[in-house]
Amino acid sequence: MIRILVLAGAATLSVSLACAQEPIVGTWRTASGETAQIAPCGSGYCVTLKTGKFAGKKIGTLAGTGATYDGEITDPKSDKTYSGSGSLSGNSLKMKGCVLKVLCKSQTWTRL
């Protein structure tokens, strides 16, 4: 009986931990109207386009927790990579790419 309770408790804990993912993980509508998927990969998160001309292309890697993430963002049109960041606020994700951390462009994505 004790063994069953311990196994049930372990199963419940593993399900709870699996559901407790970072808030950045999910599907997002980009500023250009395409869909991007942010998913765990390695020690951070990969950003991959799911729709549009560049569907399937990985356009970024981010690391962080909570509401602030840093990493690299790639412009799929020019294939140039910039230092990047993401700031999460509710269902909005402000993505920013910078050259030398001085010249920056940002756009806001919406959670789907």
Domain-by-domain residue ranges, the chain? 26-111
Count of helix runs (H) and strand runs (E) in the chain: 1, 8
CATH domain 26-111 topology: Lipocalin (2.40.128)
CB atoms within 10 A of CB 70: 14
Asked if residues 19 and 62 have their Cβ atoms less than 8 Å apart, the reply is no
Residue 29 token pair: 């509508």
d(CA 77, CA 38): 19
Residue 19 to residues 51, 80, 103: CA-CA distances in angstroms? Answer: 26, 34, 38
Position 13 pLDDT exceeds 50 = no
Mean pLDDT over residues 38-61, rounded? 96
The residue-averaged pLDDT of 51-61 equals 96
- What's the mean per-residue pLDDT of the chain? 86
SS3 label, residue 32: coil
- pLDDT of 12 above 50: no
pLDDT at 100 over 90: no
Contact of 93 with 24, CB cutoff 8 Å: yes
